[in-house]
Amino acid sequence: MATARYHDISRYLSVEEARQLYVAGDAAHDFDHVWRVTRLAVQLARAEGADREVVFLAALLHDAPVGEDTLSSAQAVRRAHHLAAAAYAGDFLQNRGMATEQVAAVVHCIEAHRFRDQTIQPQSVEAMCLYDADKLDSIGAIGVARAFAYAGSHDTRLWTVPVAAVPPLTAKPQGADYTPVHEHVYKLQNLLATLYTPTAQRLGAKRHETMVTFFELLDKEMRQIE
C-alpha cells in the first residue's frame, strides 16, 4: 500500500493515523475501503480542479470513527454514519488547528456523501468528488465483492430470487433474505446515474457494465440448479 506520494497533501491527518480509526470495520467498511475511496477521490480532485486537501481529508474521515464505545448499535451507526463521521471530522480537524472555512468544507463533503440520505446534496466540487469516489467503490467488481463480504458478515443468504423477481422497495425482505441481489436492485444498479463528475461517469460506466453482467450470470447459474 503505497502512501508516500500522499504525505504532502495535508499536515492535519496522516494515512497511518486514519488507519487506526477503522480497526473495527467490517470487510465492506474497513480501511481498505477508505483508502480506495481516498485514492479515487484525489484522482477525481486532480481531474476536476477540486481542493485536494479538502477531498483527501474528507475521504480519510468519511466513515470514521468505527468501534467507539459511543457507537454501540452497528445498524444505527450505518443509518446515520455520515452525520456521525462529519461531526467527528469537524471536531478532529478543528482541534488540529485547521481553518474554520476548510473544516466546514470537509464536513459538508462527508455529510453529503451518502446515497440513502438525499436531504443533503453535494454543493461543492469537493463534495461531488467524495460522493463519486465512494459510489465508484460500490459498483463494478469491487462493489460486487463488497456486497457479498457484507452479506457474509451479516449471515444473509447469497441468492433467493433473480434480479427480475426482486419485489418493490416497499416490500423488501428483511434479515437473512436480504441478499446481494436485492442490494444490487435497490441501490447498486442506480448509482451510476447519480455520479456528478465527468471523470467518475467515465470510470463508472465500465464498472456498472461489469456489475450488471455479474448478476446476470449469477441468476443464470442459480436457475440451472433448479
CA atoms within 13 A on the CB side of 225: 9
Same domain for 159 and 99? no
Give me the pLDDT at residue 45, please: 98
Same domain for 207 and 143? yes
- Neighbouring residues of 167: CB distance < 8 A, sequence distance ≥ 6: 173
Same domain for 149 and 84? no
Q: Which parts of the chain have pLDDT scores under 50?
A: 68-77
- CATH at residue 207: 1.20.58.1910
Same domain for 68 and 179? no
Same domain for 86 and 160? no
pLDDT digits (tens, 9 = 90+) for 45-61: 999 999 999 999 999 99
Residue where a domain stops, chosen among 101, 130, 159: 130
Give me the pLDDT at residue 76, please: 41
- CATH at residue 89: 1.10.3210.10
CA distance to 13, 84, 150, 185, per residue, from 17 (Å): 7, 18, 25, 36
- Provide the sign of the torsion angle of the four alpha carbons 104, 110, 115, 117, taken in this order: negative
pTM, two decimal places: 0.92
Give me the pLDDT at residue 148, please: 97
Give me the pLDDT at residue 72, please: 38
CA distance to 20, 39, 46, per residue, from 77 (Å): 18, 24, 31
Give the domain range for residue 87: 1-130
Give me the pLDDT at residue 33, please: 97
